[in-house]
Amino acid sequence: MTSGAPTDTAAAIAVAPTPQRIGVPREIFPGEKRVATVPDVVTKLVKLGFGVVVETGAGDLADLSDDAYREAGASIAGSTTELWNNSDIVFKVRAPTPDEVALMHEGQTIIGFLWPAQNPELMQQLAARKVTALSIDALPRTLSRAQKMDALTSMAGVSGYRAVVEAANAFGRFFNGQITAAGKVQPAKVFIAGAGVAGLAAIGAAASLGAIVRANDTRAEVADQVVSLGGEFVKVDYEEEGSGGGGYAKVMSEGFQAAQREMYAQQAKDVDIIITTALIPGKPAPKLITAEMVRSMKPGSVIVDMAAEQGGNCELTVPGEAVVRHGVTIVGYTDLASRMARQSSTLYGTNLFRLTEELCKTKDGVINVNMEDDAIRGLTVVKDGEITWPAPPLVVAAKPAAKPAGPAVEKKGGHGHGSTGPLPAKNLAIIFGVGALAFWFIGAYAPAAFLGHFTVFVLACFIGYMVVWNVTPALHTPLMSVTNAISSIIAIGALVQIAPPDPSAGGRPAELIHWLAFVGITLTAINMFGGFSVTRRMLAMFRK
């Protein structure tokens, strides 16, 4: 009997899963400075149970040293081959090259920007190696819980900010207006085509620099977002809804595009800087800025084409370069996020960590690619050597059926339970009559002192209601309305009682009331003026 115990223990040990190792290779795409994770994220991955190995020099271009990774708990691989051979999971930024795919082994998992629609050959190569591939760009962005893993949004935000920095670098004047002894400087005018994540980031950055910012988007619902960031929404004089699936814009009709081109032509003549962000997944970038529009712009103007990698929104864009055409600098850099490598790497690494949390809910260092999970299923483009892209469309929960309308409630002269209109004249007259009778009774039989206090009380309640309680809820919370109405009552009552003491009352009790009234006025003043001061400071946070 005793001989069975060690056998059971050994079996339990054998069943326990072995923690997997996450490998982070050095990116070899020309000009790519980002790295798939950072030391701060390595610490979190280790706490999930994973081992982390980083190729030597992987973070050098993002100002992240090998020593920083070691201190966070990662080991350093001396070569690319060593990294790929000793990793169960590989985190990458750019899609793997054929040489990198050749280093992969069966059962390995790769996570990164794979772009399956644009890289069908890569999908075949990965399937041939019998690996599992998760493409972070295929994440279903309509799922609210997927936002923490949305690397596209993270990178777009960095790119939008960097686009404004590049525009400022190429622009020969201030962004903000100034009045100096040397003269007046007009603020720069910036027009942003497309108000998605990148466009909104650009709007916020340009507005914070003091420029006059205008923006346009085919999706009408983003107009409020543009205004909230300090921009002006420029509407196309054509009625058509431009919202597409997955949070993207759709291809618009010819009529809309013609009206849009006319609006762009007008803006090009007036503004100093144009930033274009228009992209539709899987399709070449739409041409929004024609050569004629560029020719009409003022000398020294700047165009930053954020869609340059997909062909560009401007006809004269040269991908990867900044060129001057007709006196206008056209910036077509395709590595805007990489130009802020450390910030981009931190955000991207955090996105991959959140994804890893979803893949390893047991926190035992072993991932589980659950194809029943909508978010994970959307990301998975190759599963154990089988191409699973594209994912089936998400099942949208059906809206609950409308309840059948009940029988109409009869309304006769405002009587009955279904009446929601004003009180009939007869009932209103009765209420006023009863109220007048009550006031007459109080005035006829109550002492004169009580009547005076009662009058002050009624007036204080009326003033408190009209001045404070009756303020629209958008400007005042109900709780603040109540407290300030009470403060108004206290202030008016205390002002009446603070009159000089009545000698006939013996002096001391009246003097006590006098000082209590003074304390009441002091505390009420602190409450009311303090509330106004706090409110003023809160409102100042939302003003430029």
What are the pLDDT digits (tens) for 273-291? Answer: 999 999 877 788 999 999 9
Give the contacts of 263 (CB within 8 A, at least 6 positions apart): 216, 234, 236, 237
More confident residue, 85 or 406: 85
| pLDDT, average across residues 194-221 | 94
By DSSP bridging, strand 212-216 and strand 178-180 are unpaired
**Amino acid identity for residue 274 in this structure:** I
**Rounded-to-integer distance, Cα 458 and Cα 439, Å:** 11
| pLDDT, average across residues 310-320 | 95
pLDDT value of position 2: 44
Answer for the pair 232, 214: CB distance below 8 angstroms, yes or no.
yes
Q: Where residue 337 falls among pLDDT bands split at 50, 70, 90?
A: very high
Give the contacts of 71 (CB within 8 A, at least 6 positions apart): 39
Q: Evaluate if residue 320 carries a pLDDT over 90.
A: yes
| pLDDT, average across residues 387-395 | 89
Buried b (16+ CB within 10 A) or exposed e, 496-533: ebeeeeeeeeeeeebeebeeebeebbeebeebbeeeee
**Rounded-to-integer distance, Cα 68 and Cα 47, Å:** 17
By DSSP bridging, strand 322-325 and strand 328-331 are antiparallel
Answer for the pair 300, 227: CB distance below 8 angstroms, yes or no.
no
**Rounded-to-integer distance, Cα 250 and Cα 259, Å:** 16
Highest mean pLDDT among 179-183, 485-489, 491-495: 179-183
Answer for the pair 365, 204: CB distance below 8 angstroms, yes or no.
no
**Rounded-to-integer distance, Cα 51 and Cα 74, Å:** 7
More confident residue, 497 or 270: 270
DSSP codes of every residue in 311-342: T-SBTT--TT-EEEETTEEEE--S-TTGGGHH
Closest CA to 59 of 90, 24, 87: 24
Q: In what order do the strands lie in the sheet with 21-24?
A: 75-77, 51-55, 21-24, 89-91, 109-112, 132-135, 380-383, 386-387
Q: Where residue 418 falls among pLDDT bands split at 50, 70, 90?
A: very low
By DSSP bridging, strand 386-387 and strand 178-180 are unpaired
| pLDDT, average across residues 432-444 | 77
